[in-house]
Amino acid sequence: MRARARARLSSPAPLGLDLATPEPVPAEGIAAATALLTSGRLFRYAEAGVGASEAALWEQEFAAYLGRRYAVAVNSCGSAMYLALHCLGVQTGESVLMNAWTLSPVPGAVAHVGAHAVLVDTTADLTIDLADLERRARAHRGSVLLLSHMRGHVADMAAVRDVCETFDLRLVEDCAHSLGAAWDGVATGTQGLLGCFSTQAYKHLNSGEGGVLATDDDDLAARAILASGSYALYEQHASRPPLERLATLAPSEANHSMRLTSIAAAVLRPQLRALPARIEAWNARYTVLAEGLSLVPRVTLPRRPPQEQFVGSSLQFSLDLPPSSIERCCAVAASLGVHVKWFGGERPHAFTSTYRHWSATARNTLPDTDDVLAGLCDIRVPTALPLDRCADVVAILRHAVQTQVEPTTADP
């Protein structure tokens, strides 16, 4: 009896792969960065006499990729979200609606403009709860919705846009995890007035730090360029509204010094060209992992509707186990080389926190979101994980869950 229980729980071999390393910079990007280091032109603006900077070219290429008229490169997605709220004229004390399930730079951006975050519930499928959104939109008519496509989960955007129209919400999208994703063929970041993207090392493109703000609106683009810190050198942007708009608005915008360095832009440009191949690699791995995990007892994966064209750079699942068991399950997986993040922990850990940990936000409590977060787990899906090793990740996770389900204490 004992031998059989042991055999069933015999541990898979450790994975032996480093899955925590971000995506590397292609050789082309390294060469471009090296050339910049040699030239000393690390700043995106020049006093005189040079062609378009790497940053200007990056913005132009990013806008073309996304299908928006303008892109403004900044030093983080947090800065992009702050500038979006600033350019929309959000004032101190105003309310900004946002997802309860997202990362801390989102309430941080709301705090940065001095606004007040109104948290909206999350469904079991990990998107914004439309009924709760409608309730809160009715109470905060005319405010801004800062919508995170958290971990790349895209809500029914036709329904979200309906709510926004009905209650005069201005939509800003946080696409930190959804570059390349779409709803019903419309890219995330182009659904509202402004889209905010991250190029921090663990997002879809890696420049260490970086962000992009995208819009079709002349005045918002002009304000964002000026506020990001263009001095009187905004003419050096290749992706920009007519100079007259910039000149007219310049006296009313402060310089917030949130520029992207040219060196970051130089490493990003070839990565954008490689993005379609990267997306294919992520999605192939996601499919194998999701199929394998969906067969593990106590594990539930969120439903993803066919209109959601997602990028599977990470995978979320819910564990139907008590908190202490989830903690032990994560420890077993980690000991075998698979790092599982858990959103139900009492304390913030690494990048993972929940709304209960954010100091700057409104403290509206959300029991439905709490239920979702209690079992919610998350793994990265790096391209460094070979396709034929995905089954090993599934085996390790299955084993980790099993150690918490099997009646090991019944052993004599």
Ligand X SMILES: *Cc1c(COP(=O)(O)O)cnc(C)c1O
Which residues contact ligand X (rule: CB under 6 A)? 76-78, 102-103, 105-106, 148, 150, 174, 176-177, 198, 200, 211
Residue 400 to residue 394: CA distance in whole angstroms: 10
**Residue with Cβ nearer ligand X (167 or 282):** 282
Q: How far is the CB of 107 from ligand X (least distance, A)?
A: 10
Q: How far is the CB of 126 from ligand X (least distance, A)?
A: 12
**Residue with Cβ nearer ligand X (177 or 237):** 177
Q: How far is the CB of 332 from ligand X (least distance, A)?
A: 26
Q: How far is the CB of 77 from ligand X (least distance, A)?
A: 3
Q: How far is the CB of 153 from ligand X (least distance, A)?
A: 10
In one letter, which amino acid is 358?
W
**Residue with Cβ nearer ligand X (299 or 366):** 366
**Residue with Cβ nearer ligand X (97 or 176):** 176
Extract the tokens encoding 212: 């992009």
Q: How far is the CB of 81 from ligand X (least distance, A)?
A: 7
Three state DSSP letters for the chain: CHHHHHHHCCCCCCCCCCCCCCCCCCHHHHHHHHHHHHHCCCCCCCCCCCCCCHHHHHHHHHHHHHCCCEEEEECCHHHHHHHHHHHCCCCCCCEEEEECCCCCHHHHHHHHCCCEEEEECECCCCCECHHHHHHHHHHCCCCEEEEECHHHCCCCHHHHHHHHHHCCCEEEEECCCCCCCEECCEECCCCCCEEEEECCCCCCCCCCCCEEEEECCHHHHHHHHHHHHCCCCHHHCCCCCCHHHHHHHHHHCCCCCCECCHHHHHHHHHHHHHHHHHHHHHHHHHHHHHHHHCCCCCEECCCCCCCEECCCCEEEEEECCCHHHHHHHHHHHHHCCCCCEECCCCCCECCECCHHHCCCCCCCCCHHHHHHHHCEEEEECCCCCCHHHHHHHHHHHHHHHHHHHCCHHHCC
Q: How far is the CB of 286 from ligand X (least distance, A)?
A: 17
**Residue with Cβ nearer ligand X (356 or 389):** 356
**Residue with Cβ nearer ligand X (148 or 309):** 148
**Residue with Cβ nearer ligand X (23 or 392):** 23
Q: How far is the CB of 411 from ligand X (least distance, A)?
A: 43
**Residue with Cβ nearer ligand X (178 or 239):** 178
- Spatial neighbors of 92 by CB under 8 A, at least 6 apart, are 113, 114, 115
Extract the tokens encoding 316: 């979320």
Q: How far is the CB of 65 from ligand X (least distance, A)?
A: 18
Q: How far is the CB of 389 from ligand X (least distance, A)?
A: 25
Residue 107 to residue 120: CA distance in whole angstroms: 12
Residue 134 to residue 136: CA distance in whole angstroms: 5
**Residue with Cβ nearer ligand X (174 or 392):** 174
Residue 188 to residue 203: CA distance in whole angstroms: 15
**Residue with Cβ nearer ligand X (105 or 344):** 105
